[in-house]
């Protein structure tokens, strides 16, 4: 069997690319003939997976700066279309194409190439770009979760983009390009969800086949954390508005509390100036993050957008660190239900401040920390279980795909590991 993994970039800077690399590793380990198609120079794949056949465009992602030609190329990248079409023309029988990221370089042109061939197509939904023009179901102007039907008149007229309305219209054009691959094509696309609660957001895109396979993760620390004995408040993630760092900064300044905010992003310098009493170092080595996490009393995930999963929050809970999560996070309900943390009203700094104050109680932190540790045992599959289930998806004929199914689910009454 041939596996073709498709992703914008080959260097891990975010969760989507990390999962794409894990798919390559799993395919090679399973003895599959593995090819990789990326938009950048491909060196990240060549370096880590010398057995993989790499096709690379040598282009740069939009996040590195927008050029005039990107207005056209990132809507329909003809080079990406021709390259992928050529790869599949060589061989498309007994072939599975697994798409991860395409919004930064490859563009929706790849779906037009895929529509020309009979290879199975699987797309992992790391965000909502399969349906929502701005990818987040969020109005970046108001901070509200968007309830408009994607691509409806109300959606098109909504000035929701993080940049400006003209950029929103460009995104609408790109979505039209994406959908014009044809409903016949989208009817056969299989979607892997990072979290089962993503399905309602994607169903109106005309997609029919959904499976949930949560991303595997490891604890933030080597040993379980006795959080109730610690004092450190911890945020770990990208410094962007949609990740809620401004809400967090407001809550910290409102209360005078200290915190550690680790991560990079466009708002890093702003956070360093806004929180002089906090530790905001930017990027740190994994070993240093691990050391700091061992000192955490609780972990914060203040996302403004409907966070599809919250991988770092899962890693914190696996270490026994209770979490405070935004009500917009798709894991919010299960965090509360399993006694693994607290939920605050998204975008409401006062609500966040109240929840942080509740964490002053040793009894509360101990109870939630123990709940987090227990829930962490089943919040995500182990690496081996995830690999087994992924290969099962690759090997399972498309005709057996059932809407909403969960690959690897156990019989009713048995414990199910997401």
Q: What is the pLDDT of residues 254-266, one digit of tens each?
A: 999 999 999 999 9
pLDDT recorded at residue 13: 78
Distance CA(319)–CA(331), nearest Å, equals 17
Q: What is the pLDDT of residues 360-376, one digit of tens each?
A: 999 999 999 999 999 99
Averaged over 84-107, what is the pLDDT? Answer: 94
Which residues does 372 contact at the CB level (< 8 Å), separation at least 6? Answer: 227, 316, 317, 320, 321, 322, 323, 340, 341
Q: What is the pLDDT of residues 115-169, one digit of tens each?
A: 999 999 999 999 999 999 999 999 999 888 999 999 999 999 999 998 899 999 9
Sequential DSSP letters for 295-345: TEEEEEE--SS--S--HHHHHHHHTT--EEEETTSTTHHHHHHTTSEEEE-
CA distances from 413 to 134, 180, 389, 409, 410 (A): 40, 43, 20, 11, 8
Q: What is the pLDDT of residues 99-113, one digit of tens each?
A: 999 999 999 999 999
Distance CA(99)–CA(6), nearest Å, equals 5
Tokens standing for residue 338: 């399993």
Nearest CA-CA partner of 20 in 104, 82, 81, 76: 104
Answer whether 299's CB lies under 8 Å from 376's CB. Answer: no
**Fold designation for 2-126+181-216+383-400:** Rossmann fold (3.40.50)
Distance CA(407)–CA(238), nearest Å, equals 31
Cite the beta strand spans of 166-292 per DSSP E: 190-193, 209-212, 232-236, 260-262, 279-282
Is the model's pLDDT at 416 over the cut of 60? Answer: no
Distance CA(37)–CA(8), nearest Å, equals 8
Residue 399: pLDDT band by 50, 70, 90 thresholds? low
> What does the domain layout of the chain look like in residue ranges?
2-126+181-216+383-400, 227-376
Tokens standing for residue 21: 């690399």
Which residues does 148 contact at the CB level (< 8 Å), separation at least 6? Answer: 154, 155, 158
Distance CA(261)–CA(71), nearest Å, equals 35
Answer whether 181's CB lies under 8 Å from 205's CB. Answer: no
Residue 398: pLDDT band by 50, 70, 90 thresholds? low
Nearest CA-CA partner of 347 in 249, 263, 239: 249
Domains 2-126+181-216+383-400 and 227-376 share a fold: yes
Distance CA(386)–CA(383), nearest Å, equals 5
pLDDT recorded at residue 264: 92
Q: Which of 47-56, 100-109, 178-187, 401-410 has the lowest mean pLDDT?
A: 401-410
Distance CA(126)–CA(102), nearest Å, equals 11
Write the CATH number of the domain with boundaries 227-376: 3.40.50.2000
């Amino acid at each position: 069997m041939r596996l073709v993994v498709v992703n914008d970039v080959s260097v891990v800077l975010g969760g989507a690319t990390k999962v794409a690399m894990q798919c390559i590793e799993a395919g090679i380990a399973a003895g599959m003939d593995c090819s990789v198609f990326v938009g950048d120079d491909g060196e990240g794949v060549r370096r880590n997976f010398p057995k993989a056949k790499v096709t690379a465009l040598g282009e740069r992602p939009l996040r590195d700066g927008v050029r005039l030609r990107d207005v056209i190329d990132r809507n329909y990248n003809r080079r990406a279309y021709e390259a992928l079409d050529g790869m599949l023309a060589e061989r498309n029988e007994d072939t599975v194409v697994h798409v991860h990221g395409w919004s930064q370089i490859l563009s929706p042109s790849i779906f037009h190439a895929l529509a020309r061939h009979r290879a199975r197509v699987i797309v992992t939904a790391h965000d909502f770009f399969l349906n929502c023009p701005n990818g987040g179901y969020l109005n970046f102007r108001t901070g509200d979760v968007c309830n408009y039907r994607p691509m409806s008149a109300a959606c098109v007229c909504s000035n929701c983009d993080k940049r400006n309305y003209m950029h929103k219209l460009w995104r609408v054009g790109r979505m039209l390009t994406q959908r014009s691959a044809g409903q016949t094509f989208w009817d056969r696309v299989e979607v892997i969800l990072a979290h089962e609660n993503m399905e309602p957001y994607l169903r109106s895109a005309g997609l029919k086949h959904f499976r949930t396979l949560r991303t595997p993760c490891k604890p933030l620390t080597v040993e379980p954390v006795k959080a109730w004995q610690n004092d450190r408040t911890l945020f770990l993630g990208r410094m962007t508005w949609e990740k809620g760092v401004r809400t967090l900064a407001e809550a910290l300044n409102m209360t005078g509390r200290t915190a550690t905010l680790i991560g990079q992003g466009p708002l890093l310098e702003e956070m360093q100036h806004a929180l002089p009493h906090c530790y905001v170092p930017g990027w740190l080595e994994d070993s240093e993050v691990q050391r700091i996490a061992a000192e955490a009393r609780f972990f914060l995930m203040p996302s403004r957008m409907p966070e599809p999963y919250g991988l770092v929050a899962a890693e914190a809970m696996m270490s026994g660190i209770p979490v405070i999560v935004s009500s917009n996070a798709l894991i919010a309900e299960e965090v509360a239900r399993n006694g693994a943390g607290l939920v605050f009203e998204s975008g409401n700094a006062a609500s966040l401040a109240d929840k942080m104050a509740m964490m002053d109680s040793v009894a509360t932190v101990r109870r939630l920390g123990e709940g987090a540790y227990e829930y962490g045992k089943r919040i995500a599959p182990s690496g081996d279980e995830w690999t087994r289930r992924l290969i099962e998806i690759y090997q399972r004929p498309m005709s057996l795909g059932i809407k909403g199914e969960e690959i690897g689910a156990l019989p009713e009454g048995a414990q199910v590991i997401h």
